[in-house]
Amino acid sequence: MRRERGLAFLKTGQFDAAIIDFDCPKYSLTKQRIILLAKAQALYDLQRFQECCDVLDALHNIFSKNQRSQEHSIRVDTHLHWEKQNTKEHEKVAQEFLRRAKLRLEEQNTGRYNFEKMYNEAMEMKVPILDHATFIGPVEVKQIPCHGRGHVTSRNVEAGELLLCEKAFAYCCNASATDGQAGMNLGAGDLKSYLTRVIIHKLSNNPSLIPKFTALWSGDYKSVPAELADGVPVIDT
């Protein structure tokens, strides 16, 4: 039941909850392959790319052990042919997924992007939501006398060095599009209201994102100290 619930959470964007359900150790080998792929997807969507790669590496080890056990098995299994096909299909998906995850991890750690390719990808999309990682370079947030909080470099930087490349936390687009929620005809005020709802929904679905998001606020208002109320995330707007 936890497996099915976790897969449902994955479809609804509740990645934190999905990961908790996928961490249940009592799964058969066949289900474990599916669960690890799903867990990797949840981590990927949370931009936790190192953990995603670790899960996919563990999945690769399972494929390797499964292949060795089948090579040394003498017993004839009527389901073996189907299992081999299923395993190969899962392995192919996992290999491609690991390749993408490693690319995102490199972007996240080094800031090396193919900007020309990204530009071309964006030009081909009605709503340019690109599959790339956020890079935080040699910058940090500090309190600047007489100016409040601001970004400052944490070391000497060279001319032309990339300091920051960050994905939008949430988006909405006032244009016709094929991507469900993106295509709307709204006024400026309605767009702001809609974007607020999108942000609240995303934070409510994934409480692990709340601390980093609320830390962006630099005003005098102090948020409520509680993170949960009756097991439900507190979204202090």
Q: In this structure, are 9 and 20 located in the same domain? A: yes
* Band of residue 209 on the pLDDT scale cut at 50, 70, 90: very high
Instruction: Reply yes or no on whether the pLDDT at 26 is more than 70.
Output: no
pLDDT value, residue 77? 34
Helix (H) / strand (E) containing 173: none
Q: Is residue 117 part of a domain?
A: no
> Nearest 5°: phi and psi at 135?
-120, 125
90-118: b or e for each residue (b if 16 or more CB lie within 10 Å)? bbeebeebbeebebbbebbeebebeeeee
User: Domain count of the chain?
Assistant: 3
* 115-143 per-position pLDDT tens digit: 999 999 999 987 778 999 999 999 998 88
Q: In this structure, are 159 and 175 located in the same domain? A: no
Q: In this structure, are 10 and 94 located in the same domain? A: yes
CB 156 within 8 A of CB 128: no
Q: In this structure, are 127 and 230 located in the same domain? A: yes
Q: In this structure, are 141 and 99 located in the same domain? A: no
Please choose, from the candidates 207, 138, 215, 134, the residue with its C-alpha nearest in 3D space to the C-alpha of residue 169: 134
* Structural domain boundaries, residue 97: 2-110
User: What angle, rounded to 10 degrees, do the helices at 29-45 and 2-11 form?
Assistant: 30
Instruction: Reply yes or no on whether the pLDDT at 67 is more than 60.
Output: no
Q: In this structure, are 128 and 138 located in the same domain? A: no
β-partners of residue 89 are none
- Mean pLDDT score of the chain, rounded to an integer? 80
pLDDT value, residue 16? 95
Residue-wise DSSP of 202-236:
HHHH-GGGHHHHHTT--SS----S-SEETTEE---
| CA 189 and chain centroid, separation | 29
pLDDT value, residue 179? 47
Q: Is residue 55 part of a domain?
A: yes
Mean pLDDT of 51-80: 62
Q: Which residues contact 19 (CB under 8 A, 6 or more apart)?
A: 6, 39, 42, 43
The token pair that represents 71 in the structure block: 């090579």
**Pairing mode, strands 164-165 and 148-153:** unpaired
CB 22 within 8 A of CB 39: yes
Mean pLDDT of 57-80: 54
Instruction: Reply yes or no on whether the pLDDT at 183 is more than 70.
Output: no
Q: In this structure, are 33 and 95 located in the same domain? A: yes
